[in-house]
Amino acid sequence: MANSATTKYQDVYTQIRGFISSEKWPLGGTIPSENDLVDYFNVSRITVRSALRLLSDDGLIVRKRGKGTVVTSSMPQAENCFESLTQKIIQNGDIPSSIILDFQKITNDNHTNHFNQGEKLYFVKRLRKVNDKPYLISNAFVSYKHAFGLSKNYFSEDGSNQSIIFILNEKFDIDFKKNSQFICAETLSSDDSLVLNKDSGIPCLAHECLLFNHTNELILVDKNITFNTIKLDQELE
């Protein structure tokens, strides 16, 4: 039988996550104080703190001195490049979907600094959604020689085939050994602002994820245009 205290803080966690996902408590805003949450949910302070700790671990909120607890994301982020954002969204009880905005074979001409200039690449631009709401724009550059034959037909609008990591692993037998992630500030382009339903020119984050195979060859650069991200370098043993 489940412990009632455990059930209570999980219920509070789920309800607050719903408020954040629905933007009742919007990104960048502060959530009610612990005292207010205790009164609102009619639970103990320990229960509220346990729920807030889970939300913080998911990257949804952060405590800021002098400001309170701030909403930092509308959905938990994948913790590293090896972790599928699709699966992370599903695990949190939400529904992922995606739309291909562009798919083409290109010759790298200053499209990305990470691959060699002149190298043949696949370019895949997608809108990633959570519960049918725009979440981020993915600009993926894939090594042509390692994923020869890649086409837009490999990608689905729902299910596990939304994950480009899953596709490269399952369809092209590519195992990833190492990843690096980078963050830089940008301003939202007019084209991307229309897709994300945001104002053009506002600050955003470019989150670049680089994935390498077991021989340290660069296979994938996935540049996500979003408003929340992390930086992490990791190597699998």
CATH number for position 29: 1.10.10.10
Q: Where are the alpha helices (DSSP H) in the chain?
A: 4-21, 34-41, 45-57, 85-91, 164-172, 190-196
Is residue 197 in some structural domain?
Answer: yes
Residue 181: pLDDT over 70: yes
Most confident of 10-24, 36-50, 84-98, 154-168: 36-50
Is residue 80 in some structural domain?
Answer: no
Residue 220: pLDDT over 90: yes
Q: What is the pTM of this model?
A: 0.64
Is residue 43 in some structural domain?
Answer: yes
Lowest mean pLDDT among 50-64, 119-133, 163-177: 50-64
pLDDT, position 131? 87
Alpha carbons 61 and 228: distance in angstroms, whole number: 11
Cα distances (Å, whole numbers) of residue 155 to 87, 138, 160, 173, 224? 15, 13, 9, 16, 17
Same-domain pairing of 120 and 211 = yes
pLDDT, position 188? 87
Lowest mean pLDDT among 18-27, 38-47, 99-108, 202-211: 18-27
Same-domain pairing of 106 and 49 = no
Is residue 27 in some structural domain?
Answer: yes
Is residue 37 in some structural domain?
Answer: yes
Alpha carbons 35 and 112: distance in angstroms, whole number: 49
Structurally, the chain folds into a number of domains equal to: 2
pLDDT, position 56? 83
Max Cα separation, the chain?
62
pLDDT band at 83 (very low <50, low <70, confident <90, very high): low
pLDDT, position 171? 92
Same-domain pairing of 65 and 181 = no
Same-domain pairing of 144 and 200 = yes
- Spatial neighbors of 153 by CB under 8 A, at least 6 apart, are none
Range of the domain at 29: 4-71
Given the DSSP bridges, would you call strands 120-130 and 133-143 parallel, antiparallel or unpaired? antiparallel
